Amino acid sequence: MIEKFNFKKNKSIELGDILLNGQGVGRLATCRYGFFPMSYNGCEIIAVYNLRKLLGIARPLSEIAKEIYPYGNSFSGLFGTWPSALRRYFRENGIQVTELTDYEEFREFFKGKKYAVISFWNARHIFKGLHTVAIENVPEGVKVYNRSNKTEIPVIYTDIDDYMDSGRFIRGYIAVS
- Across residues 75-79, what is the average pLDDT? 67
Please answer whether residues 57 and 67 qualify as being in contact, where contact means their C-beta atoms are separated by less than 8 angstroms: no
d(CA 74, CA 81): 5
Q: List the domains of the chain with CATH numbers.
A: 2-175 (3.90.70.10)
d(CA 107, CA 100): 10
Q: Residue 125's pLDDT is what?
A: 66
pLDDT in tens, 91-118: 999 999 999 999 999 999 999 999 999 9
Q: Residue 75's pLDDT is what?
A: 65
Long-range pairs for 64-71: beta carbons < 8 A, 24 or more residues apart: 64/89, 65/3, 65/6, 65/7, 65/10, 65/31, 65/33, 65/38, 66/3, 66/4, 66/6, 66/7, 66/10, 67/92, 68/44, 69/2, 69/3, 69/6, 69/33, 69/34, 70/3
Distance of CA 53 to the CA centre of its chain: 12
- What is the average pLDDT value for the chain, to the nearest integer? 93
DSSP, res 131:
E
Q: Residue 72's pLDDT is what?
A: 83
